[in-house]
Amino acid sequence: MSQEFKQLDLHPELLENLDSLGYQQMTDIQAECLPLALAGEDLIAQAKTGSGKTAAFALALLQRLNVKRFRIQSLVLCPTRELADQVAKEIRRLARRIHNIKVLTLCGGMPIGPQIGSLEHGAHIVVGTPGRIQDHLRKGTMDLSNIHSLVLDEADRMLDMGFADAIAAILSECPKERQTQLYSATYPEGIEAISRQYQRSPKRVTVSRTHSESNISQQAYAVEGGELEKQELCNQLLAQHQPSSCVIFCATKKQTVEIAQSLNEQGWFSLALHGDMEQRERDLSLLRFANGSATVLVATDVAARGLDVDTVELVINYDLPRDAEVYVHRIGRTGRAGRSGAAASLVNDKQRRAFADIEAYLNKEIEWSEPPRIDDINSIDQRPKMVTIGLDAGKKNKLRPGDILGALTGEAGIEGKYVGKINVLQFHAYVAVARAVANKALKQLQEGKIKGRKIKVRKISRPNV
């Protein structure tokens, strides 16, 4: 039986805002965790991305927050900047009826100076990555002595990324009398160790899979050769499915680059995503994949955490994960919101046992298929539907999405339906436009003015791996 948010003892302004956002019914993770979190219990919750877990812990943080006390009262640790940005954005959405709440994001890959300035001005809630939070603690620019609520979001990935020591150092700076909520998609031994050391009689919550595999077609393909055979099989699978968006999961950073380069040589618009990329490169790759101007994203599991794309049509497991739960998390990128999706797994002899473990976990057999054989791939239009146009101006220049949209639909006369996602960052902005009107849009933005001034504009045509 579904439960409604109004059944909870939340502040009226939180309930009013939830209603205005269209949040009436709680998801499973929210119904299980929120009453416990609101009661001040420590939690260890196992839930996947897309389960609504952010709202589960965010509402508890906001309920307990004392706005008049301008100190850092809540800290949320995330494995990646992308996830931290998403979490902070959701907290701000949930808090918008409460005046004067300040949510600060502190992540690596950004200059630390402005962050120090923001901390000097104060904040109520900080969302950040362990490495950057530890940097501030070392510099003495951050005080955690007033923390009453701590959240470790996607704790398993933070451990995978080697943040165990950083987490321990951060937690040692927090008051012992605090609430600690730990959210994890999987439950490795390291999670148990963190829970034992840093939580007090935590309540355990496990929510069943958030994505039904019933609308995801799962196929397995036997691989007898090496990397070249696997890369060609990816090429064939893309030709067979012709997806507008595909994520290929592999094991190493080196593979992400090699596979993306191979697919680009075959004509597919492919991007690599791995942990050694500069933050700006990572941001641009994610942005281009999300706005539909790149078809394929080749990523490691860690790098793909925080990927916020609802319409992935095909997932390819170039390498099988060691953990069956990670497999479910991967294929759950497709088949969302009732859509159909497809997942293909490339399995060599060494991975047969891992494949059997996945089938046992799913309690079903995955169908083995013959590799597709499409000879005339060059006749397929492999170009993505959208093209990204970059502008050398951003929030610091007071640029807003509406300014860009107006410049395109007003003077240029381009219909709004041909304009896709608009992302305005601090110093740059990006707009996706339909390929059919890309040249017209580029010419208009180059020759016209936005907010009364000329802005340098360029078309970002081919992906840089």
Domains located in the chain, CATH noted: 5-206 (3.40.50.300), 213-379 (3.40.50.300), 386-460 (3.30.70.330)
429 bridge partner residues: 391, 424
For 48-70, what is the mean pLDDT? 87
Residue 457 has pLDDT above 50, yes or no: yes
Label residue 50 by pLDDT band (50, 70, 90): low
Tell me the pLDDT tens digit for each residue of 337-379.
Answer: 567 789 999 999 999 999 999 999 888 899 999 999 888 887 8
Give the model's pLDDT for residue 193.
Answer: 84
Give the model's pLDDT for residue 297.
Answer: 95
Distance CA 5, CA 106 (A): 30
Q: How far is CA 398 from the centre of its chain?
A: 26
What sections of 227-274 are H helices per DSSP?
A: 227-241, 253-265
Tell me the pLDDT tens digit for each residue of 290-303.
Answer: 899 999 999 988 76
Higher pLDDT, 49 or 460: 460
- Tell me which residue has tokens 């093209």: 387
| Neighbour order of strands in the sheet with 246-249 | 270-273, 296-299, 246-249, 314-317, 341-347, 216-222, 367-368
Give the model's pLDDT for residue 459.
Answer: 92
Across the chain, which distance is largest between two alpha carbons, in Å?
68
Label residue 1 by pLDDT band (50, 70, 90): very low
312 bridge partner residues: 334
Q: Which of 81-85, 165-169, 188-192, 384-388 has the lowest mean pLDDT?
A: 188-192
460 bridge partner residues: 388
Mean pLDDT of the chain: 87
For 269-274, what is the mean pLDDT? 92
Residue 407 has pLDDT above 60, yes or no: yes
Residue 109 has pLDDT above 90, yes or no: no
Residue 79 has pLDDT above 90, yes or no: no
Please state the pTM of the whole predicted model.
0.66
* 84 and 128 Cβ atoms separated by less than 8 Å: yes
Which backbone phi and psi does 449 adopt, to 5 degrees? -125, 150
Residue 48 has pLDDT above 70, yes or no: no
Distance CA 154, CA 242 (A): 32
Tell me the pLDDT tens digit for each residue of 412-430.
Answer: 678 888 898 888 888 999 9
Output Rg (C-alpha) for the chain, integer angstroms.
23
